[in-house]
Amino acid sequence: MKRKPVFWVPLFGTALLAVLSLFVGVIQISPSQVFSDAETLKLVFDSRFPRTAAAVIAGATLSVAGLIMQMLVRNRFVEPMTAGTGQGAALGILIASVVFPSSSIQVKMLLACSVALFTSLGFLAIVRRLPPTQPLLVPLVGMVYGGVLGASVTFVAYQADLLQYIDIWMNGEFSGVMRGRYELLWIAAAVAVAAYFVADQFAIAGLGKEASLNLGLNYNQIVMLGLVVISIVSALTVVTVGLIPFVGLVVPNIVSRRFGDNLRATMPLTALMGAALVLASDVLGRILRHPFEIPVGTILGILGAGVFLWLLYARPRNV
């Protein structure tokens, strides 16, 4: 029997990391300076707080999006940023930059969401043709699919002399986040909160199409709703901070192994742990080569790959 989720530990850890994030950086500041120095207070409000908020929102929403994708695909080894959705969002940004070079960030966001939704539908169509007796084929196909899309983005960017430009979107990092340049992520947060109210439907959809229909669920509608949530979260994250891998893979797996698949109960915990993971990686990236920074996408790529291998070989723990 699975244990009930405990929220106070990850909540306390996330809050502690958030406070630490406010004071760690190239310019070292102390809590006393915030209240005594106007320039320090301005630095906190203009740079440190937006960066911390962006890391929290990105981690939480990507974890929720990964959890929903795993339910819809019925496979625990997939997540949006490695299965084509994130690469599709980057492709949408690239198309907007090439075809509409003077377009606003809202136009790029809309096009990124549309292309991400299209590539997510393509991945779902491919997965449905795979044999159910070979579950490891799903993440393998997802990585190949995402790799092909990523290579296409790189090729088009090379032809358009936009390699340096597109590299910003393909490697997630928070050093450029400031007040006025991260607020789109609050839309992703609102979408993730809205997904919580239909968490039970996503859990039923994870039982499969036939079982969902027998239980009276509009399966196709829920699948499309889930893909829209995944696409919006992925696109807004890529547009704002770039592609952050493995968050939507490792966090839902760890939570589900410990507490089961009751999405109504585990989705808030998944969001908290995702926020804590991205925050911890961002703080670590600022500390390891101080005063220089390591992108959070690089750190999570290394840590996530190790955890992914552990998930493949470790047996689920029954508690």
- Three-state secondary structure of the chain: CCCCCCCHHHHHHHHHHHHHHHHCCCCCCCHHHHHHCHHHHHHHHHHHHHHHHHHHHHHHHHHHHHHHHHHHHCCCCCCHHHCCHHHHHHHHHHHHHHHCCCCCHHHHHHHHHHHHHHHHHHHHHHHCCCCCCCCCHHHHHHHHHHHHHHHHHHHHHHHCCCHHHHHHHHCCCCCCCCCCCCCCHHHHHHHHHHHHCCHHHHHHHCCCHHHHHHCCCCHHHHHHHHHHHHHHHHHHHHHHHCCCCCHHHHHHHHHHHHHCCCHHHHHHHHHHHHHHHHHHHHHHHHHHCCCCCCCHHHHHHHHHHHHHHHHHHCCCCCC
- Residue 176 domain flag: yes
Q: What is the pLDDT of residue 97?
A: 80
User: What's this model's pTM, rounded to 2 decimal places?
Assistant: 0.85
- Residue 5 domain flag: no
Q: What is the pLDDT of residue 316?
A: 54
Q: What is the pLDDT of residue 139?
A: 78
Report pLDDT digits (tens) over 165-213: 777 677 777 777 788 778 888 888 999 999 888 888 888 888 877 888 8
Number of domains making up the chain: 1
Q: What is the pLDDT of residue 61?
A: 92
- Residue 13 domain flag: no
- Residue 20 domain flag: no
- Residue 34 domain flag: no
| Segments of the chain with pLDDT less than 50 | 1, 318-319
Report pLDDT digits (tens) over 259-302: 777 788 888 889 898 999 989 888 888 888 777 788 888 888 88
Domain with residue 74: its CATH number is 1.10.3470.10
CA distances from 222 to 122, 202, 231 (A): 17, 7, 14
Cα–Cα nearest to 267, from 317, 218, 194: 194
Q: Distance between CA 28 and CA 37 in Å, rounded?
A: 13
- What tokens were used for 55? 């890391």
Task: Give the number of other CB atoms < 10 A from CB of residue 26.
Answer: 10
- Residue 7 domain flag: no
Q: What is the pLDDT of residue 318?
A: 47
**Domain membership of residue 283 as a residue range:** 54-313
- Residue 93 domain flag: yes
What angle (nearest 5°) sits at the alpha carbon of residue 85, between those of residues 234 and 124? Answer: 130
- Residue 196 domain flag: yes
